């Protein structure tokens, strides 16, 4: 993981927040369009003003929207299973669950927030995978907002090792140190390195899982297939594993190489959605 | 709800049935195309004759087809969970569950029929929501046919507050007096006003739910999210509520305003599928 | 079923394998493109070499890929529920579950292999149906490879009675003698004739099921609808039945005729994906 870039991004976000910049302005890239980090910081003040909604935080890649509610109505507290929280941050997109989970994992590290729930709709707009709905709890809504902003800002990075062609997609993630979101959503060992391999059609994902565990000494923490309850009937096989950072990265890298060849056999050469980071 | 228009439509249907008009001719709008009420009554006699199938009733918006079976084969009675019924009406579409449920709710009010089952496939042809399969039971197949006709006829109205753009959709429904279909499918209080807010991506639906319950004094009867069992893994959060008609309508209207702004932040201005009715 | 053609295809495959032909070369039609049997045998040696992956067997219609793993890593044995097997064949596609199940049923008849699992993701790339993931177990990887090759080779045939238009699809299958894959995946009576009717939107599938059982004396072995657990929330009703071959074929043929008319009422005349075989 390009830890340096990540920290730079976070520091910048924090600096701008401290300087009193309009929060919505710092986190609204062009909706849905794959965007490199630099072009993400368009001035969204216009949209935000036109919206005139205090709930709106910003948008990012994958038709992802970030929202906050300062105080959820008591009638919905139980239905939403909010526990002790009344202030929540909301991150959800049509395409992608892994990238949003990674981005929120970074966000909870950097803010005073907790993960309430992570849900995986069957989506990707006709693709083989999941969308996402993540609720973040905070004592203070400003913390929730900061977490949502951080997640939206860093999200394009985690689409970097999502590769696609007309036949399907591959997704790989790597974290040097998994935090609460990866632990809750994907069973990662807290504080240890975490890796994920995923492919749709699912058949390719089976081979990637086998490739990853053979490539390095890692501990499997989750294996999800279309019908085993680990997915929402997506056409994917997903392997999640923890371990030493060197081994985890090696396992992921071995699977990337194989995945691109196999998915490529069904169509064009799979292309990164943004810029590979692993 | 434009109760007057609805009654007019129903009376017309009844009159034409009484006059011995070919039933199929009264209910076949152009398949899948959003159609205003007047243009719906094309002469479908040709199609119907070409079909030459007594089961065929007609088609409507959302790739919705209406069918009847005069007497279901005894071998399928239990598998289909028909209970006491042998004559059934069938309404099902690729896009939309709420509109079909509303339309069938009107239909059971106007005919001597009962709801057997309402099932929600994950569909909308790559969109974020559901399709539908609704079975209607009747003592006499002519009642089932009349119910299916009524539902197909009124269906375009209930796509009126379905708004969409490339990023997703919003759906709102309002009934001054919920009947058996809304009760069975969505937990509505029978005989009371009923409202629904829904959005995909689901994140927007969370804010709409909160907006609705804060806007007026309503009773929540259902909260569905991608992973809580209330949806078929659609990328939606759906809130259903009952209450006094004024309060319910106010809650829905508040959510419409917010929903259009939030979904609009992810793409073009959301457009009604037909003509708003709430 | 065109048993003669099937046997011819199988004999040819066996002959070529015996003659030491590069296996991958015998089974790689153009990815995803509907292909008639003769044009399927392109020389895929280039792709296979470029791939340089021993796991790769070939591709076929429906974005289907065939793979093998000579010895699955012990860490994944339990997660994949492989039982006694270490050598596996993998068949999976984005579009189609029925055709792949039929093709693998042929493959296990012709090879020394067993079915490990059949899973049905909700897919078809925005369509109303399922994709597939089938694991085949073998004592020796060469048997697994042969089974995968046979399945990929015969797969286009079983898309022959998959008919589609913009509104949805119909699927029909017929086997004179069901084997282990049809038994495991769809509840077919082993060794007896097997038939299947399926349509999306699901409403049409209800009428097809009733049509089939009324047309001939067959035994229903499965009825699946969007919400009854038999599907993965696909927008389909699927009927599976066993019986005497004449009766089963008659039931299927009656449903084909009705299905094409009903789906045709929602759009263009439904077209076969390859060439009808029933």
pLDDT, one tens digit per residue, over A62-102 is 999 999 999 999 999 999 999 999 999 999 999 999 999 99
Task: Determine whether the interchain pair A93/B203 forms a contact, defined as Cβ–Cβ distance below 8 Å.
Answer: yes
Mean pLDDT over residues B219-242, rounded? 97
Structural domains of chain C in order of their starting residue, each with its CATH number: 3-158 (3.30.70.1710), 163-272 (3.30.70.1710)
In this prediction, residue B53 carries a pLDDT of 80
Mean pLDDT value across residues B216-236: 97
Phi-psi region of B214 (alpha: psi -120 to 50; beta: other; left: phi over 0): alpha
**pLDDT over 70 (residue A154):** yes
Q: Check CB contact under 8 Å for C75 and A266.
A: no
The pLDDT, as a whole number, for residue B78 is 94
Dist CA C128 CA C204 (whole Å): 12
Q: What is the pLDDT of residue B96?
A: 98
Q: Is the pLDDT of residue A226 over 90?
A: yes
Confidence of residue C52 (pLDDT cuts 50, 70, 90): low
Q: Which of A226, A247, A261 to mutate to test the interface with C (most CBs of C within 10 A)?
A: A226
> Which residues of chain A neighbour B258 with C-beta distances below 8 Å?
53, 55
Please say if the pLDDT value at position C184 is more than 80.
Answer: yes
3-class SS string, chain B: CCHHHHHHHHHHHHHHHHCCCCHHHHCCCCCCCCCCCHHHCCCCHHHHHHHCCCCEEEEECCCEEEEEECCCCHHHHCCCCCCCCCEEEEEEECCCCHHHHHHHHHHHHHCCCEEEEEECCECCCCCCCECEEEEEEECCHHHHHHHHHHHHHHHHHHCCCEEEECCEEEEEEEECCCCHHHHHHHCCCCCCEEEEEEEECHHHHHHHHHHHHHHCCCEEEEEECCCCCCCCCCCCEEEEEEECHHHHHHHHHHHHHHHHHHHHCCCCCCEECCCCCC
Nearest CA in chain B to A32: B266
Put simply, the answer to whether B226 touches A63 (Cβ < 8 Å) is no
* Confidence (pLDDT) at C51: 66
Q: Is the pLDDT of residue B22 over 50?
A: no
- Provide residues of B within 8 Å CB-CB of chain A: 122, 125-128, 166-168, 200-204, 206-207, 209-210, 213-214, 220, 223, 225-228, 231, 233-237, 239, 258, 261-262, 264-267
Chain A residues in contact with C59 by the CB 8 A cut-off are 265-266
pLDDT at A209: 98
What's the N-to-C CA distance of chain B in angstroms? 6
pLDDT tier, C204 (very low <50, low <70, confident <90, very high otherwise): very high
CB contact under 8 A, A265 and C59: yes
User: A: neighbours with 3+ CB pairs under 8 Å?
Assistant: B, C
- Which pLDDT band, with edges at 50, 70 and 90, does A240 fall under? very high
Q: Cβ A213–C120 below 8 Å, yes or no?
A: no
Q: Give me the pLDDT at residue B10, please.
A: 44
Q: Is the pLDDT of residue A201 over 60?
A: yes
Examine the pLDDT at C121 and tell me if it is beyond 80.
yes
Do A206 and C90 form a contact (C-beta atoms < 8 A)? yes
| pLDDT-derived band at A40, boundaries 50, 70, 90 | very low
Candidates B108, B106, B127, B124; CA nearest to B116 is B108
What was the pLDDT predicted at C137?
Answer: 98
Residues B94, C227: C-beta atoms closer than 8 Å: no
Tell me which residues of chain C have a C-beta less than 8 Å from any C-beta of chain A. Answer: 31-32, 47, 50-53, 55-56, 59, 63-67, 69, 72-73, 75-76, 79-80, 90-94, 117, 119-123, 125-126, 131, 133, 135, 232-233
Nearest CB partner across the interface for B121, out of C206, C226, C264? C226
pLDDT > 70 in chain C, percent: 81
Summary mean pLDDT of chain A: 87
Mean pLDDT lowest for which of A214-228, B136-150, C36-50?
C36-50
Interface predicted TM-score of the whole assembly (ipTM), two decimals: 0.85
Residue of C nearest to B47 (CA): C265
Percent of chain A with pLDDT over 70: 81
- The number of CA neighbours under 13 Å toward the Cβ of B128 is 34
Q: What radius of gyration, in Å, describes the C-alpha atoms of chain B?
A: 18
Q: What is the mean pLDDT of chain C?
A: 87
Contacts of B51 in chain C (CB under 8 A): 261-262, 264-265
Q: What residue has token string 């499918």?
A: B185
Distance from CA of A76 to the nearest CA of C (A): 27
Q: How many CB pairs under 8 A join A and C?
A: 132
Q: How confident is the model at residue C112 (pLDDT cuts 50, 70, 90)?
A: very high
Nearest by CB to A76, from B213, B227, B234: name it: B213
Mean pLDDT of A141-158: 98
Distance from CA of A251 to the nearest CA of C (A): 13
**Per-residue pLDDT band at B46 (split at 50, 70, 90):** very low
C80 to chain A: nearest residue by CA? A223
Radius of gyration of chain A (CA): 18
> Which of B164-173, B233-242, C21-30, C228-237 shows the lowest mean pLDDT across its residues?
C21-30
Residue C217 in tokens:
């004396």
What's the Cα-to-Cα distance from C257 to each of A81, B92, B134, C209, C211, rounded to whole Å? 50, 20, 24, 13, 10
pLDDT greater than 70 at residue C35: no
Please indicate whether, in this complex, the C-beta atoms of A167 and C79 are within 8 angstroms of each other. no
How high is the pLDDT of residue B44?
39
Out of C223, C233, C236, whose CB is closest to B79?
A: C223
The Cα A146–Cα A17 span in angstroms is 8
- Say yes or no for a CB contact (<8 Å) between C209 and B76: yes
Q: Averaged over C146-174, what is the pLDDT? A: 98
DSSP element (H, E) containing C10: helix C3-18
Answer yes or no: do C202 and B92 touch at CB < 8 A.
Answer: yes
Question: Given an 8 Å threshold on Cβ–Cβ distance, is A128 in contact with C133?
Answer: no
- Please check whether residue B126 is in contact with residue A125, taking contact to mean a CB–CB distance below 8 angstroms: yes
Task: Please give the pLDDT value at position B50.
Answer: 46
Can you tell me the distance from the alpha carbon of B38 to that of A54, in angstroms, rounded to the nearest whole number? 41
Residue of B nearest to C216 (CA): B73
CA pair distance C128, C95, nearest whole angstrom: 10
For the segment C72-99, the average pLDDT, to the nearest whole number, is: 97
Question: Rounded CA gap, B59 and B68, in Å?
Answer: 12
- Secondary structure letter of residue A16 according to DSSP: H
All residues of chain A having their beta carbon less than 8 Å from the beta carbon of residue C64 are: 201
Tell me the mean pLDDT in the region B132-142: 98
Task: Read off the pLDDT of each residue in C204-229 and give the average, rounded to a whole number.
Answer: 98
Residue of A nearest to B264 (CA): A51
pLDDT of residue B13 exceeding 90, the answer is no
* Residue of chain A whose Cα is closest to the Cα of C233: A233
Chain mean position to CA A27: 15
Mean pLDDT of chain B: 87
Instruction: Pick the more confident residue, A22 or C101.
Output: C101
What are B203's two structure tokens? 């994140």
Residues of A in contact with C91 (CB under 8 A): 203
Contact B67 C203 (CB under 8 A): yes
Min CA distance, A129 vs chain C (Å)?
9
- Please report which confidence band the pLDDT of residue C53 belongs to, taking 50, 70 and 90 as the band edges: confident
pLDDT at residue C161 greater than cutoff 60: yes
CB atoms within 10 A of CB C43: 12
pLDDT of C13 > 50? The answer is no
CB contact under 8 A, C122 and A231: no
Over residues A92-120, the mean pLDDT reads: 98
Q: Which residues of C touch B53 (CB under 8 A)?
A: 258, 261-262
Q: How far apart are CA B206 and CA B199, in angstroms?
A: 8
- The 10s digit of each residue's pLDDT in A2-16 is 445 444 444 443 443
Q: Stretch B200-224: mean pLDDT, rounded?
A: 98
Contact indicator for A135, A116 with CB cutoff of 8 Å: yes
CB contact under 8 A, C232 and A231: no
pLDDT confidence of residue A82: 97
């Amino acid at each position: 993981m390009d830890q340096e870039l990540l920290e730079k991004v976070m520091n910048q976000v924090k600096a701008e927040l401290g300087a009193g910049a309009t929060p919505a302005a710092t986190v609204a890239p062009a909706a849905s369009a794959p965007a490199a980090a630099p072009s993400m910081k368009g001035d969204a003040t216009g949209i935000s003003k036109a919206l005139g909604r205090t709930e709106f935080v910003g948008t990012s890649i994958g038709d992802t929207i970030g929202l906050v509610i300062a105080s959820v109505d008591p009638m919905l507290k139980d239905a939403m299973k909010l526990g002790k929280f009344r202030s929540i941050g909301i991150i959800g997109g049509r395409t992608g669950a892994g990238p949003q989970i990674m981005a929120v994992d970074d966000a909870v590290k950097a803010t005073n927030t907790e993960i309430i729930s992570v849900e995986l709709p069957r989506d990707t707009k006709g693709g083989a995978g999941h969308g996402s709905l993540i609720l973040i709890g905070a004592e203070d809504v400003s913390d929730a907002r900061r977490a949502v902003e951080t997640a939206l800002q860093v999200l394009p990075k985690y689409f970097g090792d999502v590769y696609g062609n007309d036949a399907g997609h591959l997704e790989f993630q790597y974290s040097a140190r998994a935090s609460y979101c990866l632990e809750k959503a994907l069973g990662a060992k807290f504080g240890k390195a975490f890796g994920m391999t995923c492919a749709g059609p699912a058949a390719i994902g089976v081979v990637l899982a086998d490739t990853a565990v053979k490539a390095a000494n890692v501990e499997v923490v989750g294996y999800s297939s279309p019908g085993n309850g680990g997915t929402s009937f997506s056409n994917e096989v997903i392997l999640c594993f923890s371990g030493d950072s060197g081994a985890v990265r090696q396992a992921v890298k071995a699977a990337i190489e194989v995945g691109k060849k196999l998915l490529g056999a069904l169509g064009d050469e799979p292309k990164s959605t943004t810029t590979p980071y692993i």
